[in-house]
Structure 1
Amino acid sequence: MDTIDFTQPWTFAQTTLYFFLGIFGRYVLIAALFHYLFKVKYEAYFQSREVNQRPRREGQHWREVGFSFITALIFAFVGTGMVVAWQKEYTQIYTDLHEHSTLWFIVSILIILFCHETYYYWLHRWMHHPKVYKWVHKAHHDSITTSAWTSFSFHPIESVLQAIVLPVLLFIIPLHYVAIGIILLIMTTTSVINHLNTELYPRDFHRHWFGKWWIGATHHSLHHSQFKYNYGLYFTFWDKWIGTESPDFKKLFEKKTAKGEKV
């Protein structure tokens, strides 16, 4: 790749297209898979675990896909920009796995997830400010009853705000390119799960040593229906520490997982 000049307009455009196909394709593949498994094939079993019973708005599906298309374009453009920055050696991205230890490979992923969680929690709180909400975050909240397809449905301004955090961290924190791929896969998969509106985790998961800190569909669905609680992205710790976790979460989770097995 050292022989490729990504700053050339045609190369930059091609790379952006490849990124877009990968990002949008990943979204469609994962969202479609979860939709098929939990809303089609096993719908009868999981119907009792559907959190919000209100019907989805007319045309919601295609509106969400349309916003997700734009989001993927923005993410792709930012991704190509990071390739240019990497090629010019501005970033801390490394390609030799032995440049840092295996322990660091794991720890670096956890650090990125923590930083992303912290950034997003406070960004999310800011986006709910009355003077900001309708211009930035309302497009996402138009999906009161969410689905797998809601996971990438953001206003372009919000997409930009979400896209910049990982690139900024890559200028500071050494990260292997495979670790970047793992983080992006976690981002997409958890977003789909959290917006599925069907609780997938088993009974008592919210009491498990890991589960009590991990967000699922019940937790995030309450944010879409109540607006003023549950601002987290992956984890619940900021909501717990700041006191913004919904008081209805535990009761609703237990109701929706009543037939499940203990962790």
Structure 2
Amino acid sequence: MNEYDFTDPLTFLALTGLMFLMVVFRYTLVAGIFYVIFYIIDPKSFRNRKVHKPTKDKKQYRREILWSTLTSLFFAVAGAGMVVLWQKGYTAIYEDVNDYGWWWLPVSFLIAALIHETYYYWLHRWMHKPQVYRLIHKVHHDSHITSPWTSFSFHPGEGILQSVIIPVVILFLPMHYWTIVTLLTFMTLTSAINHSNVEIYPKGFHKHWLGKWMIGATHHSLHHTQYRFNFGLYFTFWDKWMNTESDKYPKDFERHTNSSNS
């Protein structure tokens, strides 16, 4: 960490460029795998699990990839900023697992994910206020029928708002750097799952002790069609507590998982 001074403008620019390549690679890899499997290699096997008939609008895919690439730039700047804060000793990031013990790795991951969930839920509801929605959130909802490429398809304003939470969390929550990487990968993976337009979870999962708290494609697709429900990111608990979970969700989930290929 002390080998380079990341506050140097050129070094920071190089770090941001590296972060950008990493974020774009992760997004392209995860979204690409889902898209290739669900829509190219074996679309028939997932036909009954598709939440909506997939869009044939190639312009939408190109637009989603363009917005997602721009969002990746903001995520990269945030990531580079985290490294600078870490180097200067302003964060709670640590390198030796033994500093907090192995048990703290999953606990810190869960705490960070719950903080992120809470931040996103209330941010998301705020972005659905009419004036804010038209200004920054409409870009994401232009994808009425989502695809894996929709994952990071945000207006720059929304991209910035979404990029700031993890840098804030690491200021006070002790996290091993590999836990942070795992959380960011989890974010990319779940975003691709939720926007894939294919329900990957098994029959009855929405009633399972774990599954009833997890968001999937059926749950999030209802947000893109109903707008006023299902605001969560990873988990359903805020939607349940605030009575913003769509009452269509159980029936829709059962319909998409009751086919013979489920």
Place the TM-score, normalised by the shorter chain, in its bin: over 0.9
2:3 counterpart residue number: 3
1:257 counterpart residue number: 257
Matched, 1:99 2:90: no
Identical counterparts, % of pairs = 51
1:222 counterpart residue number: 222
CA distance in 1, matches of 2:105, 2:27: 25
Q: How does 1:8-23 map to 2 (within 5 A)?
A: 8-23=8-23
Which letter maps to 2:136? Answer: V
1:22-79 superposed Cα distances (whole Å, 9 cap, x missing partner): 0011000111111111111221010111112263545100100110111011111111
SS of the aligned residue for 1:137 comes to helix
CA distance in 2, matches of 1:199, 1:54: 13
Which letter maps to 1:186? Answer: F
1:38 counterpart residue number: 38
CA distance in 2, matches of 1:163, 1:4: 24
Q: How does 1:143-154 map to 2 (within 5 A)?
A: 143-154=143-154
SS of the aligned residue for 1:153 comes to coil
Which letter maps to 1:65? Answer: I
Structure 2 unaligned regions, length at least 5: none
Q: How does 1:88-237 map to 2 (within 5 A)?
A: 88-237=88-237
The alpha-carbon distance between structure 1 residues 40 and 57, as it changes in their structure 2 partners (threshold 3 A), is closer
- TM-score (normalizing by structure 1): 0.97
User: Do 2:148 and 2:196's aligned partners in 1 also have CA atoms closer than 8 Å?
Assistant: yes
Structure 1 unaligned regions, length at least 5: none
User: Do 1:202 and 1:261's aligned partners in 2 also have CA atoms closer than 8 Å?
Assistant: no
CA distance in 2, matches of 1:237, 1:24: 30
2:81 counterpart residue number: 81
CA distance in 2, matches of 1:145, 1:94: 41
Q: Aligned pairs, how many? A: 262
SS of the aligned residue for 1:152 comes to coil
1:62 counterpart residue number: 62
User: Do 2:45 and 2:261's aligned partners in 1 also have CA atoms closer than 8 Å?
Assistant: no
- TM-score (normalizing by structure 2): 0.97
- TM-superposed CA distance for 1:192, in Å, is 0.2
Which letter maps to 1:203? Answer: K
CA distance in 1, matches of 2:37, 2:104: 36
CA distance in 2, matches of 1:42, 1:56: 17
